[in-house]
Homo-oligomer: A and B are copies of this chain.
Amino acid sequence: MNITIIGIGLLGGSMALAVKDKYPKARFFGVDASVVHGQLAVAKGLVDEVLPFEQAVPQSDLVVLATPVNTIINLLPTVLDALPWHGTVVDLGSTKETICAVADKHPRRAQFVAAHPMAGTENSGPGAAFRELLPGKNLIICDREKSNPDSLTLVESVFRDIGMKLFYMTPSEHDLHLAYVSHLSHISSFALGLTVLEKEKDEQAIFDMASTGFSSTVRLAKSSPAMWAPIFDQNRQNVSRALADYIQFLEQFKAAIDEQDLGQSYDFMNRANVIRRVLDGIEKR
């Protein structure tokens, strides 16, 4: 089986490592816009060789689109055009509505499976890839009824075999949930980083006074703008709504503090504490 990973970064590279473990005879081709990323990916053993798109895709049984989401919508039609008749393409993008809409217009839509692994770190590039990123995490598959049974089976098997748990939903459900559970926390973290950096021109002062709590909350502010700008754009309606909700809670919290309404701020925090139950589950996972 030939597998082509387009975009051999954190996600594509980690997937290659995990799949290689389970399918030692599979052959991995890498396609990447960056020559250096390609070299690193081969040197690190993420893929067997780097090939041009035109050579890799036509001889692939499975193509994995692991680029930023703006590149996914550009490449997906071309991949479907170049794929052999029995081949399958799966994407790992963090948005699903725009990507699925692009796929729906293609005559070979059934060879595509829309997927999104609930995993990542604030780092990017082939150097950040590691075998343990995906196993044990959840994978969301969208519009499964639009994929042909063989393509769906192939994708489900590969992800199950590397230890992922599969969930199914529509692209619009996916994008709505993700706006709250993932995209919003990235923006809250980016904005927190900005606010603190803007105020504390002296980085040493932040460093001296920040505790591990600050570090944890602002960690996602290290994330790649090239990856996230197109995600926020493709999911802008849901993200904008989530941000409006978030800002409203912050305004209410601020009012409670300004008015010295300790009962109200106590109540906000008590309600937020419920998140402990959810987090304890995630951490034990």
Q: Are B118 and A210 in touch, CB under 8 angstroms?
A: yes
Q: Mark A8-28, 1 if CB is under 8 A from B, else 0.
A: 000000000000000000000
Copies in the complex: 2
B196 & A269 in contact (Cβ 8 Å cutoff): no
Shortest A262–chain B CB gap in Å is 5
How far, in angstroms, from A277 to B215 measured CA to CA in the complex? Answer: 11
Give A216-250 interface residues, CB cut-off 8 Å to B.
Answer: 216-226, 228-230, 232-233, 236, 239-240, 242-247, 249-250
* Cβ-based interface call for A273 (8 A): yes
Q: Report yes or no: B197 in contact with A181, Cβ–Cβ below 8 A.
A: no
Asked whether, in the complex, the Cβ of A210 is within 8 Å of the Cβ of B282, the reply is yes
Contact: B167 with A180, CB < 8 Å? no
Sample (15) of A-B pairs whose CB atoms are under 8 Å apart: A120-B211, A138-B209, A167-B208, A177-B200, A187-B250, A193-B274, A196-B275, A217-B220, A222-B276, A224-B269, A225-B269, A233-B257, A243-B250, A243-B254, A246-B250
